[in-house]
Every structure is written in C-alpha cells, then in structure tokens.
Chains A and B, each alone.
Chain A
Amino acid sequence: MLRNIIHRLLQGLLVLYVLGTLTFFLVHALPYGPFQDEKAVPPHVMERLEKLHGYDKPLYTQYFLRLKNIAQGNLGMSIKVMEGRKVSDILGQAFPVSLTLGIIAICIAMLIGIPAGIFAAIRKNSIVDYAIMTVALLGICLPNFVIGPMLAEFFGAKLGLVPVAGWNPANPFSLLLPALTLGLVSAAYLSRLTRAGMLEILNQDFIRTARAKGQKGWIIVTRHALRGGLIPSIAYLGPAFAATVSGSVVVEAIFQVPGIGRLFIKAIETGDETLIMGPVLLYGTLIVIANFLADLLQIWLNPRLRAANAD
C-alpha cells in the first residue's frame, strides 16, 4: 500500500513537471507577447519591459530560471494582467472562491444525483426511471451558459429570491445560483452512473440471497447494494471535483464570481506566462490529488481491490 502511494506521488510530480514545461514553451510559442497593447507600445518602452521581466535572455535561460524559482515555491509576478502583483497572492485571493464554489457545486451534485440514481435503479423501467433519466440527459446536453442565464432569469430576476450576479460571502444566497448551475451537469452524470452501478449490484447473487432471506427493500439498498453501487460514481467524483473547480470559467462570467477562471482566460489572451503557469500548476496539483483520493476511496469501497492492495 505504502509503496503504491509513494509510486503515485512520484508519478504526480512527473505529471506536474511535464505540464509546466509544456505550458512554458507553448506560451512562448504564441504569436504575441505580454508587452503589446491595443494601442502601439513605443519601442523603447517595449525594450525596457522585456529587460525588466527577463525576456531579453535566451529562452532556455528563462526556462531554467523559472524552473528553479518554481521549485523553490516562487511563482513570480504577473507580467501583464495584474502586472507587479505576486501570482501566489492573486491565486490566494481567487482560489478560495473557486474552491468554495466547486465544493458547494459538488455537494449539490451529490445531493441531487445520487438519490435520483438510486431511485431510478429501484424503479427500473418505470415512468419515474424514464423521467429521471430524461432530465439527466437534458442536464448533460444543456451547456451551463444556457442553464445559468435561465436560472438567473427565473430565480433572480422573476422571483427576486437571489441576486442575479455578484459574490458576497456575507449573503450565502449569492453563492446558490452559480453553484447550482455548475453542479447540475455533474448531478446528471452522477444519477446515470449511480443508476448503472446500482443495477449491476442489484442483479447479483448476494442481493438475491438477501431478498430470499426476507430482508426489507430499503435495508437491502442501504446496507448491501449502496456500497458497491456507488463505486462508479466515486470514480467519477474525483475528476469531476477537479473539473468543477477548474472549469467554472463560464459560470464565473455569467454570475460575476471572482474566481480564477476569468483571470486565467485573460492571462492566456495576453500571454501573461506567470499568471498562466500559476493556475495550470494549481489545477494540475488539484487533479492529481483528487484522482489519488478517488482511487483510495475506491479501494476502500471495493473488497476485491482492497485484497489486491493488501501487500
């Protein structure tokens, strides 16, 4: 087990190194640089800026300098979007927001998706099952830039229950719509995965045995089937959580949420290498960790895997 964990950690580090290196060279291959502006930048200004940010050095020198700094935990300063501010400070302000949004969204997804999936599985091929699965399919198909404005229009503008935009930690209602928008897609996936997982388990011999022994329906579901039936959903939750936290760009724009997504897009548009690298490495780390935890959870839930890892 321990060897497995160390192995995975080293793998994660390698992934991050390759990710960072690729990002660095791709950003430098962009046809534009961070110092240009909408209105022309005078050549002497350009020259001074390049010198200031080390862009006058050969590319490989810049690469090793960045590598050394990042290895020491120094992400550098934003070159353009928030020029002069430490990337770590910027992420420190924006990441908690993205993280909160992601956690609430994933909780909403689990609260809606898992019960719906279980319910659909129990009532297999009934009207209820079809209704839930149709809604879920819709949820998967409808992009969040459609769902978001619809929710805002209805709950915000029409009913006036929640603010249509803005992020105010003092008013928890302001977090609701963006989290719901973000969570619905995952809820839809989760319901389908849970349904499939539950159906597989419910058809197994040990469930039939339990039934034959006269066990009550809900006890069979909660005690015997749920643990195995949730395995596909758990496997999905890890990557889904990382994707939810990092993939909130559109939702952030629709609801004016001060997260990382919008900054990240701006950084890419302007070729702000340091401000691209920060979120890339942060998200990379997040995905590595989330996948790792999901694997652990799966092992814990699945007796067969647990046995295989027992050495």
Chain B
Amino acid sequence: MFFLAGCDRPTDVERANKDKVLLVGNSAEPKALDLQLVTGVPESKIISALFEGLIGNHPSDDQKMEPGVATRWEHNEDMTEWVFHLRPEAKWSDGAPLTAADFIFSYHRMLSPGLAAAYAPMLHSIRNAEIYNRDLRGQILCGLDESFPLPWEVLSKANFEGVKVADAEKLSKADFKTLAQDEKRRLLASKGLDRMNQAQLEAIIAEPGLFDWPGEVPIEVRPLVLQRLRDYLVAGEPDLFEQAKIGLAAPDAHTLKVTLREPVPYLPSMVRHSTWYPVPKHVILKFGKMTDRFTDWSLRGNLVGNGPFQLSEWRFNHYIEVKRNPHYWDAAKVGLHGIRFYPIENPYTEARAFLAGQLHTTYTFPAELLARARKSFPQYLKQEPYVGTIFVRLNVTRKGLEDPRVRRALSLAINRAEYCQYIYEGYTPAKSLTPKLGEYRGPEVLDFDLAQAKSLLAEAGYPDGKGLPSLALLTSRPHPAADALQQSFRALGIRVTIEQKDWGSYIAAQQSLNFDMALAGWIGDYLDPTTFLDMWTKGNGNNNTGWDSPRYSGLLREAAQQPDTASRYATLAKAESILMDEMPILPIAWYTRLYLHRPEVKGWHPLVLDNHPWKTVFLDP
C-alpha cells in the first residue's frame, strides 16, 4: 500500500532528540499566554518556559530556592520587609533591560481592579494590595489620608462594602429615580458607599436620610466622605495606585523592596508562582492600555518574556513551540534548543501518542491503565507525590450534616486504604487535609472505624441512619469513587443518591450552597499549608461548605503573625485539627501524579509542585 512509505521514517521523538527539542503533552490549548490573566495548568507550563520570576525552581528539591531574576534577597526580623537584589544583566527577550520598575508595573497591573485578574489575591499579602485590588475606594480616599478628620478604625464602621439585601438585584436593574424612598434605601444599603454611582451619592448628599450611618461617625464628617467619593467619580475614577500606598518600592533600578501586611516567611516560595512573574511594560502598552484584558501582546510575534525560552510558533490546537532565548542571563546553561507543547486533552490519545514515539513526556496517565503499564512498559511509568487532595465537600447547612458527629461518622465510614487500592490507584490514603509539605505535618487523625461511626451516628440521634434524609452526592462526571462512597455510607444506613451535573452546573451548585455532598479536589499553589487551610475561613470564595469557626480563623490569623516557621506550623496544625474535628470536608486521598516519561530526558526529578524548571532539562538519547 502507498502508506507503507512511512515505515522506515524515524519517530518524532528520535528526530526531536537529534534537534534537542523536548516534546511535551500539555493537555489543553492555552486560551492566551498573558500570565496575569490565565489560571490553567497547561498555560502555566508554557509560561514557566517563557518567563522567570524573582526566584526560580530548583530542579530536584522543592524546598530549595534558586536565584532567578534576583541574585539574592533579605528580610527584616519579623519578615514583613523584603529586599530583592535583581541581576543587572537581566534582559527581556527583545534585548530591553529588565529592572525593578518592570516588577512594580507588573504588580500594579496584576492588582489593578480594572484588569480583573482572578489570581490577584496571590499578591494580597503586599501591604494595601488588597484594598487597591478590591477597589475599596472609601478606605483609600479617606482611610489612608492622614489629614482626614476621622481615623479609619472609626470610619470603617460605616457601610462601605454593602450588605445583603434580598431584592437588591431587581432594584439595581430598575431606574434609580423611579424607586420608592424605601426601595432606594435598601438598594443603597446593598451597594455600600464604595459601589455607589454618582447619582446615588448625590441623592444621599441631598437627602441624608437615604443612608444609615453608625453613630460613631459624626454628622459633619459624613458629607466629607460622600464628597470625596463623588469627586472621584466625577474625575472619571482615576487609578488609585499611588494613593493606596502599596508596599512596593524601587530604591534603584536593580533593587525591589516589598513591604508586607503581615509576616510571610514563605514569601520566597510564593514568588515562584507565575502570578509574581514580571510582564513587559513596553510591549503591553504597545498593544493597549495597562488594564485591557487579552490584547494581542501575548500572541506569537508580539510576546516578549524573560525566561530561558521564547515563543517561536503557535499553531492553533496543534502545538506551541518555544526556542532558546539568546538574551536570557543564563542562556549558556539552557540544555534544550526548544520545547513543543501539544494540547492533547484525551489521556488515552496522549498515552497512545507517547507509546508511538510522538512525545517525550505526558501530562497525565489514566489510573485504570496502571496494571497494563506496570506489565508492558514499566520503564516509562512515573508515579510521584503531588500537592493535592481529593475530598468530599459537605454542606453543613443541610439537615443532618449540620451535626459534626454525623460528619465524623461519615468520615469514619470511609476505608481510605481500600479506595487507594482500587479507585485512586497509586494515591496515598489521606490522613488529614494537607498532604506532606516540607516540614509541615498535619494532624494524622483520619481513620476507618465502622463501630465508632455507628455509635456517633446513634449519639447524634440517627441510629442506623434512621431519621436522616437521603443525601445527594454531586459529581461532575461519572466516577467510581461516587459509587464507592454510596456503598461506604450505606454501611451506616445512610442513603446516598448520585447527582451528576455538567462542569459549570457542578461548580455553580457548590458556590451557591445548593448541594448536600460533592466530590472535589484541590491542588496547592505554593509550598505552604495555608494553600490548603486559608480556603475554609469565613467568606472565602472556595469554602462553599457553609462552615465557619471563629477559633479556626483566629488560629490562622495568629499563624499569619508568626515569623518563626516551626511555631507557625504548630499553630497551623492546631487549626487543621479543628478542621479535622469538625469535618466540613472528608479528605479521601492525597494525589499522586501519574505520567509517562522517556528515559533520555535528563535533569528531571520528582517535584511535589510539578514545577520542573525547563532550563535544566536536557536530552541524552
């Protein structure tokens, strides 16, 4: 046949080995490469080849900090002031010098409310960054102004951020002028001073009765606040970056000073996250305003980075190719000539492509093929711990689940070792929420004990599950774990139905607390237990359980003030014990990253954050 001609051609991998190009399975087509706007893992893999942060990743040790753009860094005693010394030879890939001003521009852009970057909270530990990012203009215009007659501690008692009002959405859609007096009051209360428009502020100035002030705010100060907010709107909402006095400074071109709102001993680990990378001011402003979302600056031909590689080819849904960046400060050490990222979403297709010699390393590997892999191609199989946890999220506002004893009983009914043997093959049975992270050890309390589970359930008033309503377990796709949980909970006499929704509805149901139980997972962003623990505080957008504990939040706040890592970890472990005692979530397994990898790829070691620095990888066939 005519296609036999293809027979003796070398495989893609063999050709790539010769060209020193790494072929990487990368799951999905990136929606863009603007590192401040994208949030996906596939994007972050490419971005880490194109950009470099202040501190880099060590090829074999997650705990070690490698110099990146910064050659060295130091901090004051309580770890609230950090100084990064940037290497003077650092350049953008177009040859322009990279200075501390670029970093300040980058963080300014990332935090600016206009850009609406979803990951901006990663920078909130910088002093005043949060109030600027959340556009809390009352605090910036009045609170941060020392000449203002009332200190912020008092003024902040006023309703700046708005309160919940049942019919707020309906009221806000109507014409303000046509509303009845009482409706106006409710709408204004729901908005809060920070979110009001000019007409609304003027309405209050004309008619003070429309807005409730706390008694602590003297009557003569109130118009002053309204006036400042109104003037700001009249001026066209100018950028408040300067007024916000954000803790960023550049004493000279190669020194970056970062002042934090609280001690962050793990700041070096945090700045390795892509949200802390610099973006090229001179390029971004060429293609639009600073706060324009998704302009053409990050497309091929335009994108300028500062990493070991530069973007050379972007073929839609086919591959993205990067080539060595000659302007990179450490270019001599870069081991590859290029990397090709293939957006292969189907893991089975990816495995086939790998085995046919089309990829050096895959993005993932389906657990159900583990047995076959162990038998037929064990030399390619990689199984490495990864900072992620699979858990069941409980809605503690639901009947039955509001009782911590019931939640503990549910947890005790889960035989985690068995789950990791048959369903999450290769994963580690979870002993608490946070997996092993450096020196941190969470409370290792999770256990399987049916007898105790039954007695707890009886104690809660539901002997053998009697009296408990049937609970629905929410999933986003069919998963054997859902059936297994159904079985586990049936052993307690609890009836569980499986409710499968598409991805969007699955997320929406959790965010609106419209579910009983949900099968979920969480991947850590940086190497600190707070990446798992912060989300369970009250008001955190990822909590979605209805649970909150002042004692838990208090301990997290306390930990945030502790510069000493050992005592900080102890406090965090105490907080995690509360979480594991109250059980708004049922951790099941700690992630393992499964993937296929060719032996000729060298300089690649297991890393729990899976942030392999591309610059040290090389090919040795």
Contact = CB atoms under 8 A, between A and B. Distances in A.
Contact of A84 (B118, B293, B542, B544): B293
Interface string A88-106: 0010011001000000000
Contacts of B29: 258
A263 B316 CA distance: 11
B542 A39 contact: yes
Contacts of A164: 349, 352-353, 355-356, 358
A161 B356 CA distance: 10
Interface in A122-179: 149, 152-153, 156-157, 160-168, 173, 176
B595 interface: no
Interface in B1-49: 1, 3-4, 6-7, 12, 29, 31-32, 37, 39
Interface string B125-141: 00000000111000000
Given A36-B507, A270-B504, A166 B294 contact: no
Given A32-B507, A37-B118, A166-B358, A255 B349 contact: yes
B293 A256 contact: no
A310 to B, nearest CB: 46
B353 A256 contact: yes
A32 B505 contact: yes
Majority SS of interface residues in chain B? loop
B507 A38 contact: yes
B504 A31 contact: yes
Given A156-B356, A256-B346, A83 B294 contact: yes
Interface string B350-362: 1011011010000
Interface stretch (A14-22, A45-53, A204-212): A45-53
Interface in B236-294: 293-294
A40 B317 contact: no
B300 to A, nearest CB: 13
Given A32-B504, A164-B356, A256-B342, A83 B32 contact: yes
Interface in A182-207: none
Contacts of B358: 163-166
A271 interface: yes
B349 A165 contact: yes
B505 A166 contact: no
Interface in A250-277: 253-256, 258-259, 262-263, 269-271
Contacts of A166: 318, 342, 353, 358
A48 B353 contact: no
A149 B348 contact: yes
A227 B352 CA distance: 44
Interface stretch (B109-117, B389-397, B443-451): B109-117
Contacts of B375: none
B6 A162 contact: yes
B3 A162 contact: yes
A90 B317 CA distance: 10
B439 interface: no
Contacts of B342: 166, 256
A94 B317 contact: yes
B344 interface: yes
A253 B347 CA distance: 10
Given A30-B504, A83-B293, A256-B342, A45 B116 contact: yes
A38 B348 CA distance: 24
A48 B116 contact: yes
Centre residue among B31, B133, B134, B295 by max chain A CB count within 10 A: B31
B508 A254 contact: no
Contacts of A93: 316-317
Interface residues of A, number: 54
Interface residues of B, number: 54
B318 A258 contact: yes
A271 B4 CA distance: 45
Given A81-B31, A166-B318, A269 B346 contact: no
Given A165-B352, A176-B3, A256-B344, A37 B39 contact: yes
A262 B508 CA distance: 22
B173 interface: yes
Contacts of A81: 31
Nearest to B540: A40
B502 interface: yes
B541 interface: yes
A156 B31 CA distance: 30
A301 to B, nearest CB: 33
Contacts of B318: 166-168, 258
A230 B430 CA distance: 64
Contacts of A157: 352, 355-356
Nearest to A37: B118
A271 B504 contact: yes
A73 interface: no
A186 B343 CA distance: 29
Interface of B: 1, 3-4, 6-7, 12, 29, 31-32, 37, 39, 113-114, 116-118, 120-121, 133-135, 173, 293-295, 315-318, 342-346, 348-350, 352-353, 355-356, 358, 502-505, 507-509, 511, 540-542, 544
7 contacts: A40-B541, A81-B31, A83-B37, A166-B358, A167-B318, A256-B346, A269-B504
Q: Top 5 closest A-B pairs, CB basis?
A: A40-B541, A84-B294, A258-B317, A32-B504, A32-B508
Given A39-B542, A40-B511, A149-B352, 9 more contacts: A39-B39, A83-B294, A90-B316, A152-B349, A164-B353, A167-B317, A258-B316, A269-B504, A270-B504
